[in-house]
Structure 1
Amino acid sequence: MDQVAVDTRWDGVAGIQRYSREVLPRLRTPWTSLGLDGDHLAPLDALRALPTRGLVYSPGYNAFVRARRQLLTLHDLIQLQAPWPGRAKYLAYYALAVRPVVRRTGVVLTVSQTSKAIVEEWLGDDAVRVVNAGIGCSDAFRADAEPASSADPYLLYVGNLRAHKNVPVVLDALALVPDARLRMLLPARERDEARGMAAARGLGDRVELLAGLDDDALARQYRGASATLMPSMLEGFGLPALESIMTGTPVLYWRGCAAVAETADGRGTAVADARDADAWAEAIRSALSRPRRVEPPAAGYDWDATARSIDETIASLA
C-alpha cells in the first residue's frame, strides 16, 4: 500500500473538525501527518507542494492539485449554493481543484445518502465511486442522560449563524411566542452577533448563549430541552439533529432539508415553509405545551463503523 499521509489541520469541536477528531484515532490504516501549517482553507493552499508522493487523505474537502492521489471527504456541497458574488470563488475552487482531484483518484467519501446523491449528480462521472462512510455519535448522547436544570422549559439550537442555517426565522418565531426561551451553542466569534439579533427582536432576556460544553454537558442540554431547533435550508448531514434524537429529544426542522429529514426520520415536527415565522411559532408552541420524548435510532451511527469504511476505501486504492 502507498504511504498514507493525513491532513490533520481539521481539528476542533464542531462540523468537519468534530468528524476529524472522532475518525482519525480510530483508523487502523497506518498513517502519518502531512505536517502542514497555515490555513487549510486559504485560497493558495490547494497549490502548495506536498512532502509525499503517496496517498493523501483529508477528512474535509480541501484539495491539493499537486497530490498524485487524494481521498477527499465531501460532507456536502452547500458552498456551491452560497449567495452571489461569494459563490463565484467556490464554483472556481470546486471546478479547478476539487473535481480534478476526485476524478484522478476515482473515489470520494461522503457522510449520508442525501449527500451521496448530490455529489454523484455534481460529478456526473460514473467512473468515480462515491462512498457513504456514514457518521457516528458520541456515547454521551443517550436517552438516560441527566437533563440540564432549568426553571422554565427551553428550546435548544446548536450550530452557527451562516445564511443556510436560517436562524433569523426561529428568532422571529420566538418573538411570537411569549415566554418561550432559547439556549444557543455557537462559535465564540458569533456570540456578539447573536446577542444583537436577539436584542433587535426584544429577546435579550429569553435567549441564553452557552459556551465551553463537553459532550456530557451538551448531552444534558439536549436532554433537558423541549425540542432542538434545526431550521437549516441545506445540510450534508445535520449532526445536532442526530445528537438530539439520541437523547430522546424531538427536532423541529424544515421538511425540505433532505439531510436533516433523513436523520430525524419523523422524530419531531417537520415545518412546511422554511421562512414562515408563524409556522415555526406554531411548532414551538406545540413543543412547549405538549412535550414528548422520541425513540432513538436503534443502530446505524457508529464512529468505529465510519472509520472501518474509510479504512476499506483507502485499502481499495492500494
Structure 2
Amino acid sequence: MRLLISGWFLQHPATGTGQYAWEILRHLPQARPSWTVGVAVPEGWAGPLPEGVEPVRIRLPRLPSDFQKLWFEQIALPGAAARWRAERLFVPYWAPPLRAPAPTIVTVHDLIPLRFPEYRATFAARLYTALVTAATPGAAHILTDSEASRRDLLQRFRLPPERVTAVPLGVSERFTPRPDPVGDARARNRYDLPPAYVLYLGGFDRRKNIETLLAVYTWAQDAIGENFPLVIAGRLPEGSSRLFVDPRPLARAWGIEAVVRTIGPVAEEDKPALYRGASAFLYPSRYEGFGLPVLEAMACGVPVVASEIPALVELVGDAAYLIPPEDARGMAGALIAVLVDSTLGQTLRERGLRRAAAFTWVACARRTAEILEGAGPV
C-alpha cells in the first residue's frame, strides 16, 4: 500500500502533535515493511526522517503563516496525494482536507477549540475550526488518543461508532528511571536545578490551569516549599492574555516567588533528566485528550499528582494521586503526602512504572496500521 502522511508538525518537534507524528513515522514502516510510506513536508524543511520514509516536498506560496498551513492542508496535501498515487492519506492531527483523492484517516487528539471558546477568539481561529469541523465527517476513519476523547467525538459529530477508534499513544524509550550520569548532570547544570524539586512541564494556555498549579503552593509552601520548590518548565508567554497565563506575576502577587522557579524551554534530550530529578510531578490540567507528560513522568519513575479528569483517570488507573482540578487545597495535601510519606511515594513510583510499560509506540503503530488498512471510502 502507498501511504502518504501529512508532516506539517515535524517542524514543531517539541509539541505533543509533533512527537506523535515522528513516532508514527518511525514505527509504521516497521509495522508494515511492505508499505511505501511517504511524508508530505514543506519544501524548505530539511530535518531528518526515519529510515524507510520517502519525503514528498511541497512548495508553499507567500502567505501569512496561518494561511500557509491552511493552504498546505486543504490544497497542497490532496494534490500531492494525487501526484504520488497515494492509496491512503493519513493526517496525524485535526486537519482533514475537505476533498482528497484517497480515503483519509485523521487523528483528532482532542476537541479543545470546540470546548473552550477562548481558543477560537480570532477570526482566523474561527474560520479554521469551522473548516476542520465540516471536513471531519468526510474522513474514512477517525483516530483519537483515549476513550474519553472518543466519547467527545461521538457526541459532537454523531458519527457511526465503528468509524471512530481510540488508539492510545506510547512513551519513548528515552523516558526511563535508569540514571544517565552525564545527561542528568548536564541538565542539572544547564537549568540550575535545585537538589530536590516538584516539576511542572507543559504549556501555559488556559486549560493547563496554571492558576491552580501556583495556588497549590500557597497552601503547601510552609510545609514543603523550602525543601521542594516548584520548577516550572516550558516556553513562557509574554504576559497573560485571554488564552495564556504567565505564572511569574501570579507567583509574586501570591507571595510564593521564593519557592517557584521558571526555567523556560527545555530541549527534548533533557526532558528525561528533568523528570528523573524530580521528587514529584504536578499536573493540574482542566482538559486533556491523553496526557503525554503524565505518561512520561510515570515512565521515569516519578510519583504523579494530577487532576481528576476523564482522560487522566483512563491513562493512570491507580498509578497516580488524582484530585479535582479546581481543588488547590486538596492537591496541596496530596502533594505533601506523596513527598513526606515514603511508602506512598514508592507505591506510586512502582505503579507508575508498571502502568507506563503498557503504552508503547510499537503497539500504537500496529493498531494504527490496522485502521489504515481497513479504512475505505465513506
What range is the shorter-chain TM-score in?
Answer: 0.7 to 0.9
Query: Letter of the aligned partner of 1:279 in structure 2?
Result: G
Give the CA RMSD over aligned residues.
3.0
- Which residue pairs with 1:48 in the alignment? 75
Query: Letter of the aligned partner of 2:96 in structure 1?
Result: A
- Which residue pairs with 1:135 in the alignment? 169
- The structure-2 alpha-carbon separation of the partners of 1:161 and 1:123, relative to structure 1 and needing over 3 Å to count, comes to same
- The structure-2 alpha-carbon separation of the partners of 1:191 and 1:135, relative to structure 1 and needing over 3 Å to count, comes to farther
Task: For residue 232 of structure 1, report the CA deviation from its aligned partner.
Answer: 0.8
- Which residue pairs with 2:115 in the alignment? 81
Comparing 280-289 with 230-239, greater Cα deviation is found at 280-289
The answer as to whether partners of 1:41 and 1:62 remain within 8 angstroms in 2 is no
Task: For residue 72 of structure 1, report the CA deviation from its aligned partner.
Answer: 0.9
The alignment status of 1:263 with 2:315, answered yes or no, reads yes
The answer as to whether partners of 1:80 and 1:91 remain within 8 angstroms in 2 is no
- Which residue pairs with 2:369 in the alignment? 311
Any idea what SS the aligned residue of 1:51 has? helix
Written as runs of structure 1 = structure 2, the 5 A alignment for 1:241-280 is: 241-255=294-308, 257-272=309-324, 274-280=325-331
The answer as to whether partners of 1:157 and 1:183 remain within 8 angstroms in 2 is yes
Normalising by structure 2, what TM-score? 0.73
Higher RCO by CA contacts (8 Å cutoff, separation 6 or greater) = 1
Q: Could you tell me which of 10, 27, 38 is aligned with 1:32?
A: 38
Comparing 99-108 with 110-119, greater Cα deviation is found at 99-108
The answer as to whether partners of 1:102 and 1:128 remain within 8 angstroms in 2 is no
The alignment status of 1:70 with 2:104, answered yes or no, reads yes
The answer as to whether partners of 1:73 and 1:110 remain within 8 angstroms in 2 is yes
The alignment status of 1:104 with 2:138, answered yes or no, reads yes
Task: For residue 8 of structure 1, report the CA deviation from its aligned partner.
Answer: 0.8
Distance in 1 (CA, whole Å) between partners of 2:368 and 2:119 is: 35
The alignment status of 1:5 with 2:11, answered yes or no, reads no
- The structure-2 alpha-carbon separation of the partners of 1:215 and 1:47, relative to structure 1 and needing over 3 Å to count, comes to closer
Task: For residue 247 of structure 1, report the CA deviation from its aligned partner.
Answer: 1.9
Any idea what SS the aligned residue of 1:300 has? coil
Written as runs of structure 1 = structure 2, the 5 A alignment for 1:106-185 is: 106-126=140-160, 129-145=163-179, 151-176=194-219, 177-178=221-222, 179=225, 180-185=228-233
The unaligned stretches of length 5 or more in structure 2 are 30-34, 41-56, 241-245
Written as runs of structure 1 = structure 2, the 5 A alignment for 1:194-233 is: 194-211=247-264, 213-214=266-267, 217-233=270-286
The answer as to whether partners of 2:98 and 2:138 remain within 8 angstroms in 1 is no
Any idea what SS the aligned residue of 1:75 has? coil
Distance in 2 (CA, whole Å) between partners of 1:233 and 1:242 is: 17
- Which residue pairs with 2:51 in the alignment? none
Query: Letter of the aligned partner of 2:292 in structure 1?
Result: L
The answer as to whether partners of 1:253 and 1:261 remain within 8 angstroms in 2 is no
Task: For residue 191 of structure 1, report the CA deviation from its aligned partner.
Answer: 8.8
* Deviations 1:229-276 (CA, angstroms, capped at 9, x unpaired): 110111000011111111221211122x1111222212232214x223
The answer as to whether partners of 1:61 and 1:72 remain within 8 angstroms in 2 is yes
The unaligned stretches of length 5 or more in structure 1 are none
Task: For residue 41 of structure 1, report the CA deviation from its aligned partner.
Answer: 7.5
The answer as to whether partners of 1:74 and 1:108 remain within 8 angstroms in 2 is yes
Any idea what SS the aligned residue of 2:271 has? helix
Normalising by structure 1, what TM-score? 0.85
- The structure-2 alpha-carbon separation of the partners of 1:190 and 1:59, relative to structure 1 and needing over 3 Å to count, comes to farther
